Amino acid sequence: MIRTKPRIAALVYLLAAVALVWTFPAQATVLTFDIFDSTDTIRASSAGANGPLDTGPHAAYGDNVTSDTMSVGAFTYHYGSKWGFTPDIAVAYSDGGTDVSRYYNDTVWPGADYLESPGGASRLFYWTFTPASGKGVRINSFELFSYSGESHSGTWTIYKDSIGGNVLDSGAFAFSGPTLYSSPLLVTTAQLDYLGSLVLEVNHASGSGGAFALDDLAFNQEIPEPSSAILLLAGVTLIWIRRGMC
């Protein structure tokens, strides 16, 4: 004899669980590049604090974020967030060779990723997001702006796994005039997640190499991975249904 009530209950459970998995918000961090001293009272701006992000004192900025305020060495790092943070993702900064991606703070740019090109021809900047095994990452958006109204243009690309890998998304940018720190150009990606490393490339094709910056780089940690979670839930539900048929 088939017991319909357990089967119906199990089916309802499966549908509800699947809906929960697909609507469960991803954990998101925003790199605001707000860095203060160890007492969290003064913005870092001197004694080498405006240094490169690849090898400088802030190379760990963005790594394994678990709070909107984190004490790292002699500094206090601040982040934005939505629905949690990104504890299983590491962020690395690099460039095309002569360029420098550096933390910067003054009265015009009170906390930004200064994309400096001191005479170099490459003008390439990279942010690599590496999740822990079984975790996904998604690059959502970032902001670009000038120092005092200069014109800038270029392209951006998101690669899978490494620089020059398969392209996940790409686009172009161009702005001038009032595109400043307080009124930046917002670049929104296709928001595709990937179970592996992602690399964001910004190619600064034209514009002053001393007046171009990025800020509010938003990325997600995708958990749980939907397909795996749904398979698990389906298996549990199948067991329930079979028991209901006994």
Q: Are strands 152-160 and 167-175 parallel, antiparallel or unpaired?
A: antiparallel
Residue located via tokens 């996940």: 168
Q: Quick one: pLDDT at residue 222?
A: 81
Q: Quick one: pLDDT at residue 120?
A: 60
* CATH number of this structure's domain 29-223: 2.60.120.260
**pLDDT tens track for 70-102:** 999 889 999 999 888 999 999 999 998 788 899
Q: Quick one: pLDDT at residue 90?
A: 98
Locate 160 and state its tokens: 């899978």
CA distance 31 to 34: 8
**Reduced 3-state DSSP string for 19-41:** HHHHHCCCEEEEEEEEEEECCCC
Following CA atoms 156, 161, 166, 171 in sequence, which dihedral angle do they give, to the nearest 10 degrees? -10
The 10 Å Cβ neighbour count of residue 200 is 23
| pTM beyond 0.85, yes or no | no
CA distance 147 to 11: 58
The 10 Å Cβ neighbour count of residue 209 is 18
Q: Quick one: pLDDT at residue 82?
A: 84
CA 19 to chain centre: 25
How far is the first Cα of the chain from the last one, in angstroms, to the nearest whole number?
7
Q: Quick one: pLDDT at residue 177?
A: 87
Residues lower than pLDDT 70 in the chain: 1-25, 46-49, 120-121, 191, 223-246
Residues 6 or more apart in contact with residue 63 via CB below 8 angstroms: 89, 90, 91
Locate 180 and state its tokens: 């400043």
For the chain, the structural domain boundaries read 1-24+226-246, 29-223
> What is the number of residues in the chain?
246
**pLDDT tens track for 170-202:** 999 999 989 999 999 999 998 678 999 999 999
